[in-house]
């Protein structure tokens, strides 16, 4: 216990040390707002198999959107922003089929370099030019299967921002780290490293997704009270790195086995601003129900 408290104090003080005190010239497309607009995102991962199936999934979703759904909107902070992340080859076609419904498109990944001999990779200008507004950064599958480390994730976050897009930065502890009771330390460290050099102004465009790795694709949902508590802790880290304004304005999603059955309870919690959904986003009915969660806060 003593050890953990000491480690956490050290991480929090280094989080403050990483804090970017000055702003740079990168344009922020949003401003820090006191009201956190809900944001529901669907990460399709390496699904579905064909372009026709991807378009059908997007179209199925558009028919299920409720009136409380809209793109990011300072004038209407209570309506839910919806973002979907199809695989790269399907992005353009899916965007055409969903944009009139107010659904925003994002890329599941990109490489931080601008161009060159990087076989198999795509860069920021490519995904921006086909209409992507968001890019997932730091997803646990990228961290483990594709060796994205915190330094690479940090470069990716900064490239997304300087290109005029918005990162959804995914962080979260593994099962072993959860069992060791070092969840907070792991999340604080990831936030500190992955946001190093990101300015206060740029934070208006950053969404954080807390995704316990042990809950992703396993059917094990983190309890809503536990997730809410972790989100609250992440705000204390953001307050140390930036200030209370950033801590309160930053949208923090929960991700990990979210379903129509768990969404209402999760979204009733004050610190949870949305969900990042994998498996259930591949079923239009299920994701439609998640987007149209019951508003109880």
**What residues act catalytically?**
139, 211
Smallest separation (angstroms) from ligand PGA to the CB of 287: 10
Smaller CB separation from ligand PGA, 80 or 257: 257
> What separation in angstroms does the CA of 199 have from each of 21, 192, 219, 251?
7, 12, 36, 16
278 binds ligand PGA (CB under 6 A): yes
**Count of Cβ atoms closer than 10 Å to residue 145 Cβ:** 9
Nearest to 239 by CA among 180, 192, 176, 273: 192
Instruction: For residue 48, say if its preceding peptide bond is cis, omega within 30 degrees of 0.
Output: yes
Among 104, 154, 163, 257, interactor with ligand PGA by CB under 6 A: 257
Within 27-86, the residues that bind ligand PGA by CB under 6 A are: 43
Show Cβ contacts of residue 230 under 8 Å, excluding neighbours closer than 6 positions: 183, 184, 187, 210, 222
Nearest to 134 by CA among 197, 63, 71, 84: 84
Size, binding site for ligand PGA by CB under 6 A? 13
Smaller CB separation from ligand PGA, 94 or 241: 94
Taking a C-beta distance cutoff of 8 angstroms, is the pair 237, 188 a contact?
Answer: yes
Q: Which listed range, 1-9, 103-111, 182-190, 273-281, lies at the site for ligand PGA (CB under 6 A)? A: 273-281
Task: Point out the residue whose Cβ comes nearest to ligand PGA.
Answer: 278
> What separation in angstroms does the CA of 41 have from each of 86, 179, 228?
11, 28, 18
Smaller CB separation from ligand PGA, 247 or 277: 277
Smallest separation (angstroms) from ligand PGA to the CB of 47: 10
Smallest separation (angstroms) from ligand PGA to the CB of 136: 8
276 binds ligand PGA (CB under 6 A): yes
167 binds ligand PGA (CB under 6 A): no
256 binds ligand PGA (CB under 6 A): yes
Nearest to 266 by CA among 101, 42, 75, 38: 38
What is the C-alpha to C-alpha distance for residues 240 and 231, in angstroms, rounded to an integer?
A: 14
Among 71, 131, 217, 232, interactor with ligand PGA by CB under 6 A: 217
Smallest separation (angstroms) from ligand PGA to the CB of 279: 3
**Count of Cβ atoms closer than 10 Å to residue 226 Cβ:** 12
Smaller CB separation from ligand PGA, 85 or 112: 85
Which residues in this chain contact ligand PGA in the complex, by CB under 6 A?
Answer: 43, 211, 216-217, 255-258, 276-280
């Amino acid at each position: 216990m003593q050890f953990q408290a000491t480690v956490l104090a050290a991480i929090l003080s280094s989080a403050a040390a990483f804090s970017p005190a000055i702003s740079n010239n990168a344009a922020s497309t949003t401003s820090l707002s006191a009201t956190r607009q809900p944001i529901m995102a669907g990460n399709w991962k390496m699904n579905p198999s064909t372009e026709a199936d991807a378009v059908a999934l997007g179209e199925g979703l558009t028919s299920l959107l409720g009136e409380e759904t809209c793109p990011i909107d300072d004038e209407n902070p209570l309506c839910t922003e919806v973002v979907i992340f199809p695989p790269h080859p399907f992005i353009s076609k899916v965007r055409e089929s969903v944009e009139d419904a107010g659904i925003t498109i994002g890329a599941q990944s990109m490489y931080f370099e601008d161009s060159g001999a990087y076989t198999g990779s795509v860069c920021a200008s490519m995904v921006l030019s086909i209409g992507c507004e968001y890019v997932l950064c730091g997803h646990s599958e990228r961290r483990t299967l594709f060796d994205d480390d915190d330094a690479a994730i940090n470069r990716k976050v900064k490239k997304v921002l300087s290109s005029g897009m918005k990162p959804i930065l995914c962080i979260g502890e593994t099962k072993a780290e959860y069992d060791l009771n070092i969840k907070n330390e792991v999340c604080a460290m990831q936030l500190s490293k992955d946001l190093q050099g990101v300015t206060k102004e740029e934070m208006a465009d950053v969404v954080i997704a807390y995704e316990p790795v042990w809950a992703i694709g396993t059917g094990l949902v983190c309890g809503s009270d536990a997730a809410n508590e972790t989100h609250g802790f992440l705000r204390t880290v953001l307050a140390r790195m930036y200030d209370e304004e950033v801590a309160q304005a930053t949208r923090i999603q929960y991700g990990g086995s979210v379903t129509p059955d768990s969404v209402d309870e999760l979204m009733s919690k004050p610190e949870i601003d949305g969900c990042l959904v994998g498996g259930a986003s591949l079923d239009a009915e299920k994701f439609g129900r998640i987007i149209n969660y019951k508003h109880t806060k």
